[in-house]
Amino acid sequence: MKRTASARLEFDVDGPAEFVLSIAVSRDHAAAAPGTPGATGAADRAGTARITEEALAVTQHGSPLEVRELHDHHGTLLHLCDVGAGRVTVDYRVVVDGRLDEPGVDELDLVRYRRPSRYCESDTLSPTARAEFGGLEGRELLAAVATWVGSHLAYVPGASAPTDGAVQTLLDRQGVCRDYAHLVIALLRGLDVPARLVSVYAPGLSPMDFHAVAEAYVDGAWHVVDATGLAPRQTLLRIATGRDASDTAFLSSHGGRVTVAGMQVGAVADVLPRDDVSTFVSLG
């Protein structure tokens, strides 16, 4: 499978700030071709997928800004840069050939991703999870949670606030992809199933945007759970992985106030498989 993803972001900044961008494809997800951002050491960790093209540019007032690169957990690639007041433009494009093997398992992750977190209040929702899904395991559990969340929420762009967590989402019965994923994660953790959030590029998604899905550890492996059903899980490209949206935002900034002035995200694949919520799918 060949997948191409891109993002063009424009921000207005009212004073000096530090940008932390998380829009590049994860380095645990694909090996980078020599000369592409993050290429060093990536091939040692990658499976069969390969980045054949990749470019990132951050500009302000027509001039390129210096970008520093950091590697976070699970291969998440962060790009840091210092900006001044005015319009900042970010352009990213990547082409990935092939699919990666299933993500690895770290025992510490199985501890970390069973705990409640900022947007996934699994301790509060544990009684609900046990009442609705008690006795279910493995594939049957993931399919049941995805179907339940998908049927209890309405996908309404702009309906949720950036600070809403899983509890508020369940009360409001509406939200966007990150809200669906937070509720899935909270319910699974409430059953002591490790679950985490992944930001992704999603070929087949409509309307196109950055997408968020859950990843759950059952039957000895990590599997994708997407209660929105808006894109085939087989096409997804991992960007960032963490406890919830606080770990996976496409931009974190420190300093001057930042306003999103424009955003265009694209993702296509040469094949769009038919997805089935009852089957296991791993990001790859």
Comparing 144 with 39, the larger pLDDT belongs to 144
Cβ(204)–Cβ(189) below 8 Å? no
> What does the pLDDT average to over 46-66?
88
Q: What are phi and psi of 112, to 5 degrees?
A: -60, -40
- pLDDT of 96 reads 95
Give the orientation angle of helix 122-133 with respect to helix 177-189, to 10 degrees: 80
Q: Residue range 149-173: average pLDDT?
A: 96
pLDDT tens per residue, range 221-275 = 999 999 999 999 999 999 999 999 999 999 999 999 999 999 999 999 999 999 9
Look at residue 49 and tell me whether its pLDDT is greater than 80: no
Tens of pLDDT, residues 88-126: 999 999 999 998 767 778 899 999 999 999 999 999 999
3-44 residue pLDDT tens: 999 999 999 999 999 999 999 999 864 454 555 555 433 333
pLDDT at 105: 86
What mean pLDDT value characterizes the chain?
A: 92
Question: In angstroms, what is the C-alpha Rg of the chain?
Answer: 18
CB 63 within 8 A of CB 52: no
Model pLDDT, residue 125? 98
Could you give the CA distance from residue 149 to residue 11 in angstroms, rounded to a whole number? Answer: 33
Residue 166 phi/psi, 5-degree rounding, is: -60, -40
- What is the dihedral sign for C-alpha 209, 101, 252, 5? negative
Taking each helix axis as running N to C, give the angle between helix 177-189 and helix 138-152, from 0 to 180 degrees, rounded to the nearest 10.
140
Q: Which helix (H) or strand (E) holds 147?
A: helix 138-152
Domains of the chain: 2-100+252-264 (2.60.40.2250), 107-240 (3.10.620.30)
pTM attached to this predicted model: 0.91
CA separation for the pair 173, 107 (Å, rounded): 34
Using the Cα atoms of residue 101, residue 239, residue 106 and residue 52 in order, give the sign of their dihedral.
Answer: positive
Instruction: State the pLDDT at residue 236.
Output: 96
Give pLDDT, residue 45.
Answer: 37
Cβ–Cβ contacts within 10 Å for residue 270, how many?
11
